[in-house]
């Protein structure tokens, strides 16, 4: 677990640096394309710095807003609040803020930049459809993400993926609009081709960044959560219900899909571009711990 924590911290800074380089590179390409000089590059550097700061300090708020999660107090849902509180004390982590997502599907996620600034969001479906031990398993899994600093890395990914996708769309539209004006410039053709390639490949690159958050994190969080509750069967049953009952979540977003305990888009075939390992494999590993 300590190795995972250190690895997550290193990956976070590495991802922020890569994101900075990508934004500046886009700025340089645009400066060459539009003949605006290095003023665009300087703007790109400033933008990259601002976006990195926003992703680090406000990425959790963005994730919660995208998911339409609403913060609750103890008196609003004492059952869930006390469960999070008790498991936090057992795990030795600060009490995270508790959010509820109005959705009939069973799901949950944790976010934040560190255990002192963290949040857990649980769907109403999880509260209503899971037995006490099953919901405990789900919350313990999310607390493990907090303790392992998975949340910081996963939070940075949200902003990276979102911004790169927006830039790709901007570049593609700009090339189509102004491409013909550059055709008389000897550099116009190659720059248009480069711009189009970047725009087409950027969504794939964004997905690869998302997958940099290794799927192994889910196995580790499952194991750590099971050790926390001392009852692996609880989480195993919760994952089985997710596999059987869940449908695509209305509030799900591709930028935040990797945060959830299970893919919110109900993907049956798990392949190279899946953000989560197969549920049946996770259940089998949990039951092997019993």
Q: Beta-strand (E) ranges in the chain?
A: 69-71, 97-101, 108-114, 117-123
CA angle 14, 18, 22 (to 5 degrees): 170
Is 111 a residue whose pLDDT tops 80? yes
Provide the pLDDT confidence category of residue 198 given band limits of 50, 70 and 90.
Answer: low
Catalytic residue among 76, 133, 134, 142: 142
Provide the pLDDT confidence category of residue 36 given band limits of 50, 70 and 90.
Answer: low
Tally the residues of the chain. 290
Give me the mean pLDDT over the 28-42 stretch. 73
Is 245 a residue whose pLDDT tops 50? yes
Is 12 a residue whose pLDDT tops 80? no
What string of H, E and C letters represents the secondary structure of 235-259? HHHHHHHHHHHCCCCCCCCCCCHHH
CA distance 4 to 17: 20
Between residues 187 and 54, the one the model is more confident about: 54
DSSP state of 94: P
Q: What's the distance, Cα to Cα, between the start and end of the chain in Å?
A: 20
Residue ranges covered by each domain of the chain? 2-64+154-211, 69-151+214-287
Provide the pLDDT confidence category of residue 141 given band limits of 50, 70 and 90.
Answer: very high
The edge-to-edge listing of strands for the beta sheet with 69-71 is: 69-71, 97-101, 117-123, 108-114
Predicted TM-score (pTM) of the model is 0.81
CA distance 128 to 104: 8
Please say whether the beta carbons of 107 and 205 come within 8 A: no
User: 121, 116, 123, 122: which is closest to 152 by C-alpha?
Assistant: 116
Distance of CA 129 to the CA centre of its chain: 25
Q: Residue 272 has what pLDDT? A: 54
Q: Residue 26 has what pLDDT? A: 75
Q: Residue 232 has what pLDDT? A: 96
Q: Residue 34 has what pLDDT? A: 67
Q: Residue 189 has what pLDDT? A: 54
CATH superfamily of 69-151+214-287: Metalloproteases ("zincins"), catalytic domain (3.30.2010.10)
Active site (annotated) includes residue 71: no
CA distance 210 to 113: 17
Lowest mean pLDDT of 154-168, 169-183, 212-226, name the range: 169-183
CA distance 179 to 174: 8
User: Tens digits of per-residue pLDDT, 271-280?
Assistant: 555 678 889 9
Q: What percent of the chain has pLDDT over 70?
A: 75
CA distance 50 to 54: 6
Please say whether the beta carbons of 106 and 246 come within 8 A: yes
228: three-class secondary structure by DSSP = helix
276: three-class secondary structure by DSSP = coil
Provide the pLDDT confidence category of residue 213 given band limits of 50, 70 and 90.
Answer: low
CA distance 123 to 139: 11
Per-residue CA distances from 28 to 44, 60, 161 (Å): 8, 30, 20
Is 183 a residue whose pLDDT tops 50? no
Q: Residue 19 has what pLDDT? A: 76
Q: Quick one: CA dihedral 226, 65, 155, 26, positive or negative?
A: positive
Per-residue CA distances from 281 to 222, 266, 284 (Å): 11, 16, 5
Is 247 a residue whose pLDDT tops 70? yes
């Amino acid at each position: 677990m300590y190795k995972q924590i250190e690895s997550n911290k290193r990956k976070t800074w590495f991802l922020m640096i890569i994101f900075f380089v990508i934004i500046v590179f886009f700025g340089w390409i645009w400066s060459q394309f539009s003949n605006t000089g290095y003023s665009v590059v300087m703007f790109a550097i400033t933008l990259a710095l601002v976006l990195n700061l926003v992703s680090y300090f406000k990425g959790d708020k963005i994730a919660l807003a995208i998911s339409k999660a609403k913060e609750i107090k103890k008196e609003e849902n004492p059952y869930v609040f006390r469960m999070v509180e008790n498991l936090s004390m057992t795990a030795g982590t600060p009490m995270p803020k508790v959010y509820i997502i109005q959705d009939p599907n069973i799901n949950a996620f944790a976010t934040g930049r560190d255990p002192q600034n963290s949040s857990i969001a649980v769907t109403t479906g999880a509260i209503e459809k899971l037995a006490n031990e099953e919901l405990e398993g789900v919350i313990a899994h999310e607390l493990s993400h907090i303790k392992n600093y998975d949340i910081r890395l996963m939070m940075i990914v949200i902003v990276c993926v979102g911004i790169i996708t927006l830039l790709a769309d901007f570049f593609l539209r700009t090339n189509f609009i102004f491409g013909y004006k550059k055709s008389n410039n000897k550099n116009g053709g190659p720059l248009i081709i480069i711009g189009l390639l970047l725009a087409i490949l950027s969504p794939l690159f964004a997905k690869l960044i998302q997958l940099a958050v290794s799927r192994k994190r889910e196995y580790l969080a499952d194991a750590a959560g099971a050790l926390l509750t001392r009852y692996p069967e609880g989480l195993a049953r919760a994952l089985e219900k997710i596999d059987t009952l869940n449908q695509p979540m209305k509030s799900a977003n591709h930028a935040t899909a990797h945060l959830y305990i299970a893919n919110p888009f109900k993907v049956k075939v798990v392949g190279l571009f899946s953000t989560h390992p197969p549920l049946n494999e996770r259940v089998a590993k949990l039951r092997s711990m019993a």
